[in-house]
Amino acid sequence: MRTVLSRKFWSFILVSLPLFASAQDQSLVERLGYPADAKLLIVHADDMGMSHNVNVATLKGMTEGWISSASIMVPCPWFPEAAAMAKEHPDLDLGIHLTLTAEWRYYRWGPVSPLSQVPGLLDKEGFLPRGVMGVASRATAEEVETEIRAQVQRALDFGIQPTHVDTHMGTLFARPDYFEAYRKVAHEFKLPYLLPRPTPELLAAVGPQGKMFTPERVAEVEKSGDIMIDWLDTGINAPPEKRTEGYVDFAKGLRPGVTELIIHCGADSDELRAITSSWAQRTQ
């Protein structure tokens, strides 16, 4: 049994998609060239582009080699800086964090698309909704598809060469038709998309957002050759003073297969404290 830190995972998947589709009888780790009992870890940072603070902290983690991949929020105010960083570091494994919510109290953003095309993605204040259900209760799948396509195209227009797409707050898993829009846009741009295998632990954690993970849909996805991450963990459940111990325990508990650990980077600053009450959990 081996433990392997997976670097540039999405970059490798991106160039290997035809090969992966033709080797469906093998597990993901075997298709990556490792023994079936190997433990591979992707340390992934969400929310690049959210703020200057997050951009700097995420870039630091990636260039120092302790973050495997990250994804960029295109609608956010600090997206242009994140795009410039991506262009300056083309070797980094950077995807697009498809964003349909603007969850903070005062720090908000709206869609990339013309507002007339996506009225269901606007709350009463004219921003993206604060929560997943605020999106799912109003926005049509057509509006969602329009917006996420616009976000990928805007990233390309800014010179980013994304290695994958994923979904902020899991919104694109909230409804089956949203998920199909997610797959459609990913396929259109020939990008792998984050899709975790629906383990009992994951379904318990995501609650209503797990409705699209029906056995029939999972079987269809696997038959299509799309990649499914074996395990997804959305963070270390430990207070800041015990974070190191939490990471050690997490590493000891890794299971065979590919695990993606999602983290959120930041450094203690007035900017980050003003944006979110969770600033302490984001500081590294």
Supply the pTM of this predicted model.
0.92
Question: Cα–Cα distance between 127 and 184 in angstroms, integer?
Answer: 25
Stated as kind and residue range, the H or E segment containing 232 is strand 231-233
Q: How far apart are CA 236 and CA 244, in angstroms?
A: 10
Domain chopping of the chain, boundaries: 3-282
Q: What is the pLDDT of residue 2?
A: 58
For residue 26, give the amino acid letter.
Q
Q: What angle do CA 136, 49, 191 make, to 5 degrees?
A: 65
pLDDT of residue 250: 87
SS3 111: coil
Query: pLDDT digits over 191-206, tens only?
Result: 999 999 888 877 777 7
CATH classification of 3-282, choosing from 3.20.20.370, 3.40.1190.10, 3.40.50.1820, 1.10.150.530?
Answer: 3.20.20.370
pLDDT of residue 12: 83
What integer pLDDT is reported at residue 110 of this predicted model? 97
Closest among 10, 6, 70, 16 to 225, alpha carbons compared: 16
Determine whether 106 is exposed, middle or buried from the number of CB atoms within 10 Å of its CB (0-12, 13-18, 19+).
Answer: exposed
pLDDT means per 10 residues, the chain with 284 residues, are 66 77 77 91 94 94 93 98 97 97 95 98 97 96 98 98 96 94 97 90 73 80 87 78 83 92 86 75 64
pLDDT of residue 23: 65
